[in-house]
Chain A
């Protein structure tokens, strides 16, 4: 199966390479980050995270390749990441330090994979990984498009929480921004009319039950319907990771602002494993207040999966159940943008402040100063992930080519 898949992609690519109408492009980015982190007392006392202050260094980059042909294209992306910190100390496998999972989120670079296409190494103070997280061939026709391979699936308006899209985690709060998750399978897009687009996905997933077991299938439909000049509706329905899922997004565009709502319902596992239904809701508001100042508010509820434990921070960055978030971005100079997001868990009072200030250095290079600050710990915390949140300050330097 794997061999057939790789050969199929390879043959198609070679055939097209041979055609005369080839137009290629290589692009990418590189980024270096350094952060100093102070541990949360609750993590030390209750979660055996016995460290006080540590430094964390992260280097990552993307290399994108694209070959355009007359009615088709081949695209690939290699993502490489190297992180270094004493927090990778070799402790017992059941008690690792968990902070690096937050510092390098998203940790799972391929959301639904049939093939590994990755290489990981690590020692007592570092981790290195290379992932081919995009590798596909695309055919374009008048009213439809067909993709085969490892692809990005990127839809939904939520920047902090985006429940209708289980195939790509939003990176609005994370330190790694130039990343999307890959998904293995097939995609058929049907442009039914100028107002209606339907995407059909057939994906495979081996990560859910491990590589030794059978491939779990995902059958997914995402539709986008422009109901009127102001109103757009999205719908999603399908079977994914052994659950049946149904949801949608509503967007209304007022002259002054855009409001949107998302909801996703997930049934119990279809294969009788211990589970319970899940339900997520998101409300959003987006407005350009002046020509320099942009605000976005997102609030919602994500049903906690009580069977997932702390490892769930692999899947979702936001450690809250009921939350409200306000994100501001202000351009004080064409070179300097100030960004600040405050996230509050309505139930516990836990409040998290994230600052990101970006300075354009010219020559396709920019620097960023960032800070992550849990400003209120909250009371009666049941969510262990909130106890893990550290206080961090850091700098990043990134370049694009």
Chain B
């Protein structure tokens, strides 16, 4: 019990909860927990419509906010396709044809493999804590649960695809349970629900992410984090062209 009370994240979250002006710190805390300095995760993504369902498996490696490498491990059609991001540059690699292709940074907004997530989401190209300005909105209660509500407005110099995001964060663990994404016309376009919090290497992470597009409510994409580690120490050359093509 004492161990729980004196855990760094628990104390930090309690302190945050007491400070009504710390919307920026709430965002930083959530990003630190969910993203860390570097991580390796094994993800299962399921795209679902009323008549059809498709599952992909992906390995995702992320270091900081500028480096990411993802590899599709299933199904057979896409197996081995890799995407490397270094800052704003992206390359796809198709191992069966040994083809490395530079892709436009505008591809960050493209749907990832037909899912409701974008390349930006999968490659974690934007940072909620750094690319947005934050302020608290009045608390809200949903299904009997109290949430802190944070309005995130894109900074004028940040290159992000969503100008406004509303976060619903749990008052208990300070982690987000819902993100609402608004477009330039201030229309709600999609909602990301986060659930099933688990702890990996001291980081609390929602392991079930459900993206619900608002213009097609029959369709949704679910991501399950099957494994995750924050103790991965990537070699200096890991996020490199050589490693991208080494598959």
Contact = CB atoms under 8 A, between A and B. Distances in A.
Contact of B76 (A153, A288, A335, A400): A400
A253 B108 CA distance: 12
A258 B105 contact: yes
Nearest to B113: A334
Give chain A's interface residue range (CB within 8 Å of chain B): 35 or more
A152 B104 contact: no
A155 B93 CA distance: 11
A391 interface: no
Contact of B106 (A142, A179, A232, A287): A287
A127 B99 CA distance: 29
Interface stretch (B3-11, B46-54, B140-148): B46-54
A157 B91 CA distance: 11
A142 B88 CA distance: 25
Given A140-B246, A152-B98, A229-B88, A292 B106 contact: no
Contacts of B47: 334
A366 B103 CA distance: 24
A232 B77 CA distance: 30
Contacts of B100: 154-155
Contacts of B49: 333-334
A291 B111 contact: yes
A110 interface: no
B79 A191 contact: no
Interface in A278-333: 286-292, 294, 331, 333
B183 to A, nearest CB: 11
B106 A258 contact: yes
9 contacts: A145-B242, A157-B101, A157-B102, A191-B240, A194-B240, A288-B108, A334-B47, A334-B114, A364-B75
Given A154-B98, A226-B89, A400-B76, 11 more contacts: A152-B98, A178-B97, A194-B240, A197-B241, A230-B88, A288-B110, A291-B118, A334-B54, A334-B111, A334-B115, A400-B77
Interface of B: 47, 49, 52, 54, 75-77, 79-80, 87-89, 96-111, 114-115, 118, 159, 219, 237, 240-242, 246
